[in-house]
Amino acid sequence: MPPKVKICGISTLESTKTALNDSADFLGFVHFAKSPRHLPLEAMSGLMQVIRRVNVSTPLVSVVVNPDDDLLAALKNDVRPDLIQLHGKESPERVAEIQRLTGIPLIKAISVSEKADLAGAHAYEPHVDYMMFDAKAPKDAALPGGLGLSFDWSLMRHHVAAKPWFLAGGLSSANLSAAVQESGASMLDVSSGVESAPGIKDAGLISDFLKAAKSL
Ligand SMILES: O=C(O)c1ccccc1N[C@@H]1O[C@H](COP(=O)(O)O)[C@@H](O)[C@H]1O
């Protein structure tokens, strides 16, 4: 079975069309002011409404970082994504609270640089539908993800998980086969690996990535 793919950091209808034509399994939209992929909530909501007119089956994911209750209320009441991806330093208790507050299925991203980072993942599992494992950002980085950095994929090999998980960080059409082989991932998440410049999605690279993943 080929891995499922989430194309993340989408901000235009053009890249949405390419991703859907080539059978992306999830589409991600980032709301984080420091990101070159940042979408204000109104724009995210508008784009999602347009997408839903032509496609109701592909889950649409709002990616946020340490969201406060006001942002969660806006996501729940106005944007209404299928999933919320938490890509900050949210504690397991906060994730449980976010689940209660929104009722929206969650993806929790964990930053990984060494095996010990994986142990903390289990505490989140009761509160989420999916986990995500992404490379740990450098201390001085402006973003917690979307940096095109990978981690040692073999760390995932013996990870026993109660929830399905995405592998993220520095993936591209050139390395995804090795990443799947080394990590055992059945779900992939990509952003900068399908861009020509930070925040600029490239139709050819999106297509290449999806075709390479679907051919595994
Ligand atoms: O992409 C961003 O700008 C971003 C901002 C804030 C939180 C998360 C973000 N991106 C997530 O990181 C992964 C991996 O990115 P990459 O493929 O290494 O560029 C991306 O898919 C998003 O889920």
Dump pLDDT digits (tens) for 87-128.
999 999 999 999 999 999 999 999 999 999 999 999 999 999
pLDDT digits (tens, 9 = 90+) for 6-21: 999 999 999 999 999 9
Residue for token pair 């960080």? 169
Ligand 1 first shell, C-beta below 6 A: 8-9, 28, 30, 32, 35, 37, 63, 65, 87, 134, 143-149, 168-171, 189-193
* Alpha carbon nearest to ligand 1 atom 6, residue: 145
pTM for this predicted structure: 0.97
Task: List C-alpha distances in Å: 35 to 55, 96, 164, 200.
Answer: 27, 26, 26, 12
Q: 134 has which bridge partners? A: 111
Task: List C-alpha distances in Å: 3 to 42, 145, 170, 181.
Answer: 32, 21, 16, 11
CATH class of 4-214: alpha beta
Q: Which atom of ligand 1 is nearest to the CA of 148?
A: 18
ipTM: 0.97
Query: Does residue 56 carry a pLDDT above 90?
Result: no
Query: Does residue 149 carry a pLDDT above 90?
Result: yes
